[in-house]
Structure 1
Amino acid sequence: MDFTPTEEQEAARDLAARIFGDLATHERLAAAGTGSDAELWKALCAAGLPGAVEETGLLGLVLLLEEQGRRTAQVPLAATCVYGILAVARHGTEEQRARLLPGLRDGTTVVTGAFPAAGGVVAQEGRLSGAVAWVPWLRDATHVLVADAERGLWLVRTEDAARMESVELTAPWSAGRLVLDGTAAERLGPGGDTGADTGAGAYADVLVAARVAFAGLQAGVCAGALARAVEYTSVREQFGRPLSTHQAVQLRAADAHMDTEAIRVTAYEAAWRHDEGLDATEAALTAAWWASEAGKRVVHTGQHLHGGMGADLDHPVHRHFLWGRQLDAYLGCGTELLAELGDLLAKGEPS
């Protein structure tokens, strides 16, 4: 396997880094509160970055999300690319791709996902009923990719939902509670209105992509938290010398660096397998487990190494802490992921 980015992936990553660096500033993030940054989202879409994922693949998306995570930039990039662009491109019909992808590329269509399937939504004759307690970026979305109790995939227009209620999460992800009551839905891909056909296979593929993408986002969040900690301890003095010269600080930072690299490399491997058409289920669970378990260690370290400043809710490092803790539990916490991985290995299914 080769994780070396292609020229196209590198170019997209570098462009994303510049845009996030210019617009996802501490002042703008503070002003956004718990909402998304509409101007930043327009800039990313005008640069063609969401649409580029069709060519650069899941590994290319992971590289973009690392840059987003470094800045904790509040835009629905991961959700729209995973639950929208990649899901429609890989599993939509030819008609759905022609109709939906142009809006997804230019940002006028924003898709989020009611994932993972928890059995709370039932499909009957092309209509959905049930509720999802919280959906990330629901307040920004024009469509929601909903997984029903049978793991079929359905696209629902948010304007058709029976009710959407604002929900505040640990991280400022513009989330909402989704209530469906006989809501009209469009089956993603072939298979008619029943969701039978290959729905479960499409659901599994989207879940794998989501776990890998959000692991990549966590790698960026951790890298950003660690970079802030290194900068702070290099200038903050204690007993007449910088904190960074103390062995305990160095060891803590070194452990955080190794944890961050573990998240990154496992996310890269899983993304590479997915792009190569190989079974990436086991690799995605591994990446997601590292993102959960190691991720929370790193963001705790980032806050701890800031000392008393880490307790300041307005300090930039606190956003990394909030994002890291949210990503720790999204799509399965560490123990749940480990149990799922154990079941997969026990069945002896090839990865």
Structure 2
Amino acid sequence: MDFKLSAEQQDVQKLAIQIFADQTDNEHLRQFDNNSRYDTKLWSDLGETGILGISIDPVQGGMGFGFETLCLVIEEAGRSMAPAPLIPVLVSAALPLQKFGTEQQQSILGRVATGDCLISTAFAEPLNDDPLTPSTTAERVAGGWQLSGLKHCVPYGAQAEKILVSAQSSEGLVALWLSPDNEGIELTDQQSTSGEAQSHMTLTNVLVNDADIMAIGSDAETAMTYALQRTQAALCAFSVGMTDKMVRLTAGYTAEREQFDVKIATFQAVAHRAADAYIDVECLRLATSEAVSLLDQEKPADDSVKIAKIWCGDVTHRTSQASQHLHGGIGVDRDYPLFRYSLWSKQVELTLGGSAQLLSELGESIAETFLNR
């Protein structure tokens, strides 16, 4: 089996590396450190070069390369700390919209591909990251549906034109699209660990037209599972780039830093800890590659995605700690880039399931498989 990237994938990867390298140097990123803005110029450039349309069908103005190729770009975004909402817009929202949305709902994808429109997804509620078991309710009324509930940590909720939301109804789960300016929706800013723009969304008797309903019942469960798994896998791909860069920053620093007139990289304890971090990153890369490949082929990937996200949580945590330890005090200095990687590591670690929670779910899945034999 050939595991090499195709020529098209290599071209996309090189293009992403070039764009991010030109616009994510340390000086440029400083202007985004203390606010929740994304880089609109970078986003526009990604749209002009076709990067934003990588996984969007050609009939919608995209390139149609699929999820695996998109994850190559997301990995480079993690490596460069690019201030661009690639995962919320292109994975969490655009992929399920393209797969399960109606023709009318999909009409927005062309503007997503050009960078002229943001869309997002509200997965989380207070104390609940599972979009399949929301406490938000949907009730049929004259003229459509009425929604009430709370969503939080909605990425770019205030900037999005449409937000994918799940709710419980008497007919089962409902997956639908909301416009943030709908009457009854209140958005308040939330402070995130990484600085990413997030919103708390309060829904009070929000009227939704039938045209904005994407799926109901088992179809809605399938759609939200589709979105959730791909978002978890994309976070893993982002972490591969992020942790790889942390290891490289650490290797470069320890190769130059001296104690007692000796490079600290030659110290056995330093070398061992750095080596452990490198092995961790390569394990995360392998687990992520399997999950992404299975999802790209639309094969069953429940356990593979959980395994990758468990590795993601553990590896981002350990790599961030090791990098900070081996850098000493400079690791938290905001004039040095490592602090951004550490902040994002913590956010990714806890987004859509921590390692302990997912390990428990994986154990239950394995046990159920053996019991049913």
CA shift, 1:81, in A, is 0.9
* 1:10-65 deviation digits (Å, cap 9, x = unpaired): 21111111111110121221112332111111111111112112322221122111
Paired residue type of 1:101: L
- Unaligned ranges ≥5, structure 2: 57-63, 124-129
CA shift, 1:4, in A, is 2.3
Give me the whole-angstrom Cα distance separating, in 2, the residues matched to 1:36 and 1:137.
Answer: 9
Matching residue of 1:257? 278
Change (3 A) 1:151 1:345: farther
Matching residue of 1:153? 175
Change (3 A) 1:109 1:2: farther
Give me the whole-angstrom Cα distance separating, in 1, the residues matched to 2:192 and 2:135.
Answer: 20
- Unaligned ranges ≥5, structure 1: none
- The answer to whether the 8 A contact 1:62-1:268 is kept is no
Matching residue of 1:50? 52
Matching residue of 1:163? 186
Give me the whole-angstrom Cα distance separating, in 2, the residues matched to 1:262 and 1:86.
Answer: 27
Matching residue of 2:120? 112
- TM-score (structure 2 length as normaliser): 0.87
- The answer to whether the 8 A contact 1:76-1:140 is kept is no
- TM-score (structure 1 length as normaliser): 0.93
CA shift, 1:196, in A, is 2.1
CA shift, 1:234, in A, is 1.2
CA shift, 1:128, in A, is 2.1
Picking from 83, 86, 94, the partner of 2:103 is 94
Structure of greater Rg: 2
Picking from 167, 179, 183, the partner of 2:202 is 179
Counterparts of 1:20-31 in structure 2, within 5 Å, are: 20-31=20-31
Counterparts of 1:231-270 in structure 2, within 5 Å, are: 231-270=252-291
Paired residue type of 2:148: S
Change (3 A) 1:58 1:187: same
* 1:76-121 deviation digits (Å, cap 9, x = unpaired): 1111111222111111123332x12101111222122111425232
Matching residue of 1:122? 137
Matching residue of 1:141? 160
CA shift, 1:151, in A, is 4.3
* 1:141-189 deviation digits (Å, cap 9, x = unpaired): 2221112245432111122262111111111111111111222445453
Indicate the RMSD between aligned Cα atoms, in angstroms: 1.9
Counterparts of 1:219-298 in structure 2, within 5 Å, are: 219-298=240-319
Matching residue of 1:339? 360
- The answer to whether the 8 A contact 2:188-2:199 is kept is yes
Give me the whole-angstrom Cα distance separating, in 2, the residues matched to 1:328 and 1:144.
Answer: 23
Structure with the bigger percentage of helix: 1
Give me the whole-angstrom Cα distance separating, in 2, the residues matched to 1:187 and 1:282.
Answer: 32
Name the stretch that deviates more: 319-328 or 249-258: 249-258
Q: Does 1:60 align with 2:69?
A: yes
Name the stretch that deviates more: 257-266 or 317-326: 257-266
- The answer to whether the 8 A contact 1:273-1:279 is kept is yes
Percent identity over the alignment? 29
Change (3 A) 1:151 1:4: farther
* 1:324-350 deviation digits (Å, cap 9, x = unpaired): 000000000011111111222222199
